[in-house]
Structure 1
Amino acid sequence: MSPPVIPPWPGRSPWPQHPERILVVKPCCLGDVLMATPALRALHLAFPQASIDVAVTAWAAPVLDGNPHLRRLIRYPDRATPQEILRLGLRLRRERYQLGIGLDRSPWVNLLLWLAGIPVRAGIDSRRRGLLLTHRARPRPGQHETELYLEVLEQLGIEQEGLHPEYEVPPGARAAVDRLLADLRIQDRASALVVVHPGGAVNPGATMLSKRWPPERYAELIDRLVVDHGVAVVLVGGSSDREAVEAVKQAARSSVYDLSERLALPELAALCAVAQLFVGNDSGASHLAAAVGTPTVTIFGPTSPLQYRPLGPRSRVCAPEASWHLPTGVDLRRSQREDPTLDIRQVTVDEVYGACAHLLGQAATRC
């Protein structure tokens, strides 16, 4: 594909059509950053000789470790304040970036690109926050985040190269998980490996436990999958997921393997990559599983799958019916937690089991 021709910044002389230094700003969080990886891929393929840096928080940075399209990661402040943004912007000014891409609605992101002295700045113009941008994409109701990020690039003439997210599993993590599974002899005792993440919804500065499907329903789902399909189930999660994991273990009649708090993100990705199925809530873990190609069932509510669902040919979503038909003008970034029709408890065990059984059947056919 020939490099795109980017129009000059109005009022300035034309800038190089083959930028050598590009900055992308995508602060948080795990799932959102993974949803931005198709844009990073498209940007690299459009400018294969350019050095691409990404400003990202320490919380979300691990999902970009080892990404083949990037040169380096730059620490974005965990708590954006005028002082922190000014300090980072002045430091980035010395890098002399020629193109800046903002993949976040935050006005701090657009301000940072301007403070960094980047002549061409493309980003999201939400609620008139794009005044400092030279190229703007406006979100549309019901638009998926990945499509929005790619639309930012379209303002520069850059074509998309697929919607699927990606994550590179480090070889060391894959080897560690292989040893762990061999020690537990999980794959010797079951027809398939199913990873279940019953927690999530806890990010820096934001906790939304209404995004968690009830643990007793996870337990019923696990029991049905074990009895009907002979699967082995591994529970995963971090320290903030301990309560959810314990509740599922207490309610389930079937034996499960508890690997919660034992896996770093690369090992979690490696485990998902060898599993035949992943089941979880609307969280970064579901996007990570989809990014490594695992058949994935994600349970949504009260947030909308229209905007945040994991993408990919083997990704399935179970969500309240009303969440697929939100009226034009509804701000899908807000929780809608007061609407009972969007409550995650509207999703039944039968619905989730059906999606899981379908994907397990596909996996068995491929084997």
Structure 2
Amino acid sequence: MRREKILAIKFKFLGDVALMVPALRMLRQHQPEAEIHALVAAEAAPLLQRLSWIDKVWVLKRTRGKLRLRDSLPLIRELRAEQFDRSVDFVGNDRGAVLSRMIGARERLGVMAPKGFAGRAKCYTQTIEELDTTRHEIVRDAYVLSAWSVPFLRDGLSLELTPDPSLADEAKKILPNPGIIGHLSTSQPKKEWPVEHWVELHALMQKSGLPMVFTAGHTEREQALLTALKAALPEAHCLPAFASLELYIATIARASLFISPDTAPLHLAAALGVPTVGFFGPTASSRWAPLGPQNLSIQGAPCPCSGHLHVCDQPIPCINTVLPTDVAEAAFALLKGGSQ
């Protein structure tokens, strides 16, 4: 008997894809015999490819902000040939809607997000309203599946990520001794701490005999943050730019604690079971912070900076109101709890 085939679609950033995993796991538990496939942007594929309960991960190369359907046609033909029984688009953006229609699953569920081209709803056979943004993103994704009567599992909200075991030795060379990793960068400067805050946090950790190492994203701007940190703190141990996301995942899996602003690596560390301290300024910890007792979050002061700006335009940026002493206190609490 043919197994039902279901395709999950999410074209968003790395952290968004990591946060989709609990919803997919709820779907798997609800339909253990189904084939579950996922379609994500190529850069996010490593987050799903080693999860044994996902049958296949399809990857689509993309240029941010552009659909480029002509370049996607070979993949779309392959996906159409799979003859999916159902598909679910967790985002409901233009790209996901058009691809849902072209892939042509018999039943196509999509989120009705507020923006998009006219007639977008016709790309789906079933739609569901977008849950309000006061809810956690994991809950928002799980809610989409309520249209298929998939039960919401309050004890199933943990993230999940499996590092590549073949990279364990290389990761150990990069980070020989498990310790505290501080990740400096995000995709938006307004979410990043000033270098002087990292210098102060490093001093607080050193005073307690807790060495730190530092990482940043691969772009030139993000790597420049590590250069600035080294200039202010010559003794800082900064890890090199990573050759692949898979190697980065294998390396942070060795950490005893991960400290970071709101960015994908914070969710990757939490998914690996590494305790995290996340700090938030222009974004809401109530929506984006990793869940669970080994993940602590700190929210900065209220701020009216625009969500469309890459920098905070206030005299004192909201992220700067998160103090190193507060982050250190949260770190000490987690490390003390882990030693009991």
- 2:106 maps to which residue? 119
Deviation at 1:81, TM superposition (A): 2.1
Residue by residue over 1:39-71, the C-alpha shift from the partner in whole angstroms, topping out at 9 and shown as x without a partner, is 121122222222222111112212122122222
- 1:353 maps to which residue? 328
Asked if 1:109 corresponds to 2:96, the answer is yes
Deviation at 1:332, TM superposition (A): 7.2
Letter in 2 for 1:176: E
Seen in structure 2, the aligned counterparts of structure 1 residues 360 and 251 have a Cα distance that, compared at 3 Å, is: farther
Seen in structure 2, the aligned counterparts of structure 1 residues 25 and 261 have a Cα distance that, compared at 3 Å, is: same
- 1:310 maps to which residue? 290
Q: Distance in 2 between matches of 1:231 and 1:251?
A: 19
- 2:318 maps to which residue? 343
Aligned-residue sequence identity (percent) comes to 26
Deviation at 1:227, TM superposition (A): 1.0
Deviation at 1:334, TM superposition (A): 8.1
Equivalent residues in 2 for 1:61-210, closer than 5 Å: 61-79=45-63, 80-81=66-67, 83-84=69-70, 87=73, 89-127=76-114, 131-132=121-122, 133=124, 134-161=126-153, 162-182=156-176, 186=177, 193-201=179-187, 208-210=188-190
- Could you tell me which runs of 5 or more consecutive residues in structure 2 were left unpaired when the two chains were aligned: none
RMSD of aligned C-alpha atoms?
2.8
Q: Distance in 1 between matches of 2:71 and 2:95?
A: 7
**Which residue, out of 256, 271, 277, partners 2:236?**
256
- 1:4 maps to which residue? none
Q: Distance in 2 between matches of 1:264 and 1:222?
A: 27
- Say which SS state the counterpart of residue 36 (structure 1) adopts: helix
Q: Distance in 2 between matches of 1:35 and 1:332?
A: 20
| Alignment check: 8 A CA contact 1:22 1:52 kept | yes
Q: TM-score, normalised by structure 1?
A: 0.80
Residue by residue over 1:126-157, the C-alpha shift from the partner in whole angstroms, topping out at 9 and shown as x without a partner, is 11756233141422131221111100111111
Q: Distance in 1 between matches of 2:3 and 2:109?
A: 14
Deviation at 1:158, TM superposition (A): 0.7
Deviates more, 1:265-274 or 1:143-152: 265-274
Q: TM-score, normalised by structure 2?
A: 0.86
Letter in 2 for 1:249: K
Q: Distance in 1 between matches of 2:294 and 2:115?
A: 37
Asked if 1:224 corresponds to 2:204, the answer is yes
| Alignment check: 8 A CA contact 2:4 2:33 kept | yes
Letter in 2 for 1:287: H
